[in-house]
Amino acid sequence: MEGEFRKQTKVDDILCIWEEFGCLVGKYNIPSLGEGAPHFQPPKFLVDSLVKAIEEGHNQYTSSYGHPEARELLAELYSPSFGKEINPEREILISNGANGCMTAVLGSLIHSKSDEIILIEPFFPQYFSQSQFAGATIKTVPLIPSDDNQWHLDLDALKETLNENTKCIIMNTPHNPTGKVFTKEELQEISDILEEYPHVYVINDDVYYFLTFEGHEHHIFATLGDNWKKTITIFSGGKILCCTGWKVGWAIAPADILRQAVVFNDCTVYCNNVPGQLAVARSLKVAKQEEYKDGLTFIEYEGEDFKRSYDIIFKGLEESSLPIKPIKASGGYFICADVSELRDIVPEKYFKQQEYEDDPDTTIEKNDFGLPVPLDLAVCRWLAMEKKVVTMPGTFFYMKGSKHMTDKYIRLAFCRGEEITKAAMENLK
Amino acid sequence: MYKNLPKKLDNMLHIWSEFNMLSLKYNALNLAHGTPGIDAPPFLIENMVKAVREGNNQYTAVQGHPELREALSKFYSPRFKPAINRDLDPNTEILVTVGASSALNNAIVNLVDHGEEILTFEPFYPNYMSITKLGRGKFRTIPLKTSPTEDGSALNFEYDWDTFEESLGPQTKVVLLTNPHNPTGKCLRKEEIERITELLEEKAPQAYVISDDVYDFLTYDQDYEMFANVGDNWKKTITIYSGGKLMNCTGWKVGFLIAPPDLTREAALMHESSIFNLNVPGQVAIARSLDLLNQPFEGYNSYPEYVRSTFAKSKDDMVDIFMNSGIPFTPTVCEGGYFVLLDASAARSLIPDQFLTPGNYEDDKDTLVIQREFKNKVPLDYAFARWFCINKGITIMPGSSFCIEKEKDMIDNFIRVAICKPESIVQQTRQILSQ
């Protein structure tokens, strides 16, 4: 199995991307709109289901495809959305979160360094690590805000970047970090462009699919035309049911594509959180169909909660004395804002050096993206220390050295709950 | 059928799937797969329920929940003391992974590069080979030798030191030890560790050692000896343990990697890039249960002792039952772990021709069982395992599935029986084989 290629031995050390701001939150007790952790606890019906699964004795290994009962339930639930009977034996993989599915799929698709993965920038940083882990060459295509104050994919860049070495493209809708929801027309445009490159697989990270604002529908790329045969769609139990730490995610794809991913999954984790898989699968119907609170299902309830926080953030930024310009989101967990006008407001020290804490004994590892510190990173550090709000710099969501790299944007999460969101926006007045 | 899918890894799923499928189809007792037959202890389950209800349900630190890493430092520091003369640093020397499988994956994929060799003993746990291929490394094995015990009633496994020494060189990047060994159960003696250490210093000083010690608490008549705390070995050793095995919750998939800071960091980067986080409430539950492992359980001094004693007795009883089944087995000496190997070569004459000749061996001409195909010769252990399942009603694994496949050279004498089972399963085995 050895080819002519050179293997990528290491992945970039980006442990501190999450750790720097995560640690600041705890150390200085700062309201955080940084990390994408939902403020909800998993609903009681889910917790009870987990306890039941454990007490029933589902505590040992299961199939590398995932627990058979869980797969049956998922196939039943998702078949209507895909417009076909999903085969639970062969067309579903349950792995260690959506993350685990992505790792398995990329690992099985990428054969050598000459294989290219296209990422849409800005992207969830994990895609980059996973692509490196898989040993691929990474290319990027940007989303850019337009006059309508919404993000749009640069289709010309997509056409220029696709070539015979492209193995797959990773799409994400609703999008992290921008909150963009791709319309059916937009997905169709991308689909049409991809027709000229029929060898390219499409991986759709749809983990936020259930969180779209009114008037913005989620569409499954695999259901357009005959995309099914080349598309892998990934979902997250952790996101739907607010149990991100349980790490239960699933991929739905044709049997031949999934088979290779399962071989990979078998090799890397073998299987994962068996009682968790069952509890999640057994609880999805309830989350989707039964009343949880105030006449709403659990999914509707969390959706409305997040939308309220989104409105607080959007309005708060528009009314803030600081020139932070929000760009409309249509769903998901996050919104981006343009901070280019803060260059003269943020004190020099945040641009001149990486260390900004007053604590000489600090153990918090600081990210190093060179000097001067990029504007967005400087802004986030200043906002954290002096305005007492944690946000994430957009730089983290671009490939180092990317020609689309920009330091204009920061990301704010609206999954954090009204209390924290209001407190944060107070501090930004 | 999509055409251009690369086949990077050999599909190892078939090793298990054929026998699992046969077992279900013919309603046989499954002693093939290494699933422990004892459930997780009540205190662990209580801690899990508590951990979930308390709200430990979102992401934790990438390297593992801080509470778990502290608890692991407390639990494992005593055994690493001879090596480092201090406690393990929970922030830099411990990584929590998706079971030991994932720890192995992180360690191996990082360490080997194109052309570099991983050396291990054969038979071996099949995933070692897949993971090495994933890491683009070269997988090389040294077959264990067998010799009769003094009274001739059983076979012992031994290291082939000459071949081991010859195999070491500048191309050796990792020596992979399994201690106690799967599937032979062989435990490393202190002298053997010292010998390996010396040979490495002489012939492959650049090599790292990964010690897969997931059965560390399951030694029968032998002490568990560690590689990492002999001489200077700490610096170059990654030791791997399994929470799932230790507490009979293999499906929770929580494993531990312990190594010096540089090696742990590198494994953490692999982990971060491919896994990111895992079973957070499970991590907390295990963290809180590690202390309780030292308390009396069901009349035994501790929970691990309870498990060890149960499996030790099951091992002895199972071997007895097989030896008295009327089939001419020769047992091997099993010093630890979940499995025992039995030499079944003398049973050839009992096996009907349909199992010994290539092709569909079932009476069902339309079988959906995915049968591993052999072109010229069916290895004896495969023939035996297939016949034994269908005709005798017990599923075991052919030993050659734990070896590098070269059809004509295959060592095909041994079958592997899972002994990680409680009394009730032993009883069932007895009933079935006495018919």
pLDDT in tens, B270-321: 898 888 899 999 999 999 999 999 999 999 999 999 999 999 999 999 999 9
How far is C-alpha A13 from the geometric centre of its chain's CA atoms?
19
**Which stretch of DSSP H or E encloses residue B257?**
strand B255-258
Collapsing DSSP to helix, strand or coil, B127 comes out as helix
Q: Is the pLDDT of residue B70 over 90?
A: yes
Opening angle at CA A308, ends A215 and A326, nearest 5:
75
pLDDT of residue B410: 65
- A154 CB-side CA count, 13 A: 17
Does any CB of chain A come closer than 8 Å to the CB of residue B2? yes
Arithmetic mean of pLDDT over chain A: 93
The pairing of strands B117-122 and B138-143 is parallel
Q: Summarize pLDDT for A273-322 with one digit per residue, the tens.
A: 999 999 999 999 999 999 999 999 999 999 999 999 999 999 999 999 99
Neighbouring CB atoms inside 10 A of B195's CB total 15
Structure tokens at B430: 């007895």
Kindly state the average pLDDT of the residues A177-188: 98
Collapsing DSSP to helix, strand or coil, B179 comes out as coil
Q: What's the full length of chain A, in residues?
A: 429
Q: Is the pLDDT of residue A68 over 80?
A: yes
Q: Is the pLDDT of residue B15 over 80?
A: no
Asked if B57 and A244 come within 8 Å (Cβ–Cβ), the reply is yes
Residue B1 pLDDT level (bands cut at 50, 70, 90): very low
Amino acid at B87: D
Beta carbons of B335 and B412 less than 8 angstroms apart: no
Backbone phi, then psi, for A385, in 5-degree steps?
A: -75, -40
Does any CB of chain A come closer than 8 Å to the CB of residue B346? no
Does any CB of chain B come closer than 8 Å to the CB of residue A309? no
Beta carbons of B200 and B165 less than 8 angstroms apart: no
Residue B319, C-beta contacts closer than 8 angstroms, at least 6 positions apart: B331, B334, B340, B342
Q: Which residue has the higher pLDDT, A368 or B3?
A: A368
Q: Is the pLDDT of residue B6 over 80?
A: no
Contacts of A47 in chain B (CB under 8 A): 52-53
User: Cα separation of B218 and A342, whole Å?
Assistant: 62
Does any CB of chain B come closer than 8 Å to the CB of residue A25? no
Q: Is the pLDDT of residue A12 over 80?
A: no
> For the range A292-301, what are the long-range contacts, defined as Cβ-Cβ under 8 Å and sequence gap of 24 or more?
A292/A43, A298/A43, A298/A45, A298/A241, A299/A210, A299/A240
Neighbouring CB atoms inside 10 A of B419's CB total 29
Neighbouring CB atoms inside 10 A of A367's CB total 21
Beta carbons of A399 and A140 less than 8 angstroms apart: yes
Opening angle at CA B349, ends B348 and B355, nearest 5:
65
Neighbouring CB atoms inside 10 A of A259's CB total 19
User: Cα separation of A189 and A155, whole Å?
Assistant: 8
Residue B110 pLDDT level (bands cut at 50, 70, 90): confident
User: Integer distance in angstroms from the first to the last C-alpha of chain A?
Assistant: 59
Contacts of B266 in chain A (CB under 8 A): 10
Q: In Å, how far are A115, A232, A237, A261 from A118, measured between CA atoms? A: 10, 15, 26, 19
Closest CA to A284 of A295, A271, A299: A299
Does any CB of chain B come closer than 8 Å to the CB of residue A150? no
Does any CB of chain A come closer than 8 Å to the CB of residue B432? no
Does any CB of chain A come closer than 8 Å to the CB of residue B370? no
Does any CB of chain B come closer than 8 Å to the CB of residue A230? yes
Closest CA to A240 of A109, A78, A113, A371: A78
Structure tokens at B245: 């095995």
How far is C-alpha A381 from the geometric centre of its chain's CA atoms?
23
pLDDT of residue A363: 87
User: Cα separation of B340 and B87, whole Å?
Assistant: 36
Kindly state the average pLDDT of the residues B71-96: 96
User: Cα separation of B33 and B351, whole Å?
Assistant: 23
**Which of A64, A268, A274, A364 best tests the B interface by mutation, with the highest count of B CBs <10 A?**
A268
Q: Summarize pLDDT for B201-219 with one digit per residue, the tens.
A: 999 999 999 999 999 999 9
Collapsing DSSP to helix, strand or coil, B149 comes out as coil
Asked if A51 and B268 come within 8 Å (Cβ–Cβ), the reply is no
pTM of the model: 0.92
Structure tokens at B360: 């569909």
Compare all CA atoms of chain A with the CA of B37 and give the residue at the minimum distance.
A60
Asked if A1 and B57 come within 8 Å (Cβ–Cβ), the reply is no
Kindly state the average pLDDT of the residues A203-213: 97
Beta bridge partners of B138: B117
Closest CA to B370 of B8, B15, B3: B15
Considering only CB atoms, B279 lies closest to which of A107, A129, A247, namely A247
Opening angle at CA A249, ends A244 and A253, nearest 5:
155
User: Cα separation of B231 and B339, whole Å?
Assistant: 31
pLDDT of residue A6: 29
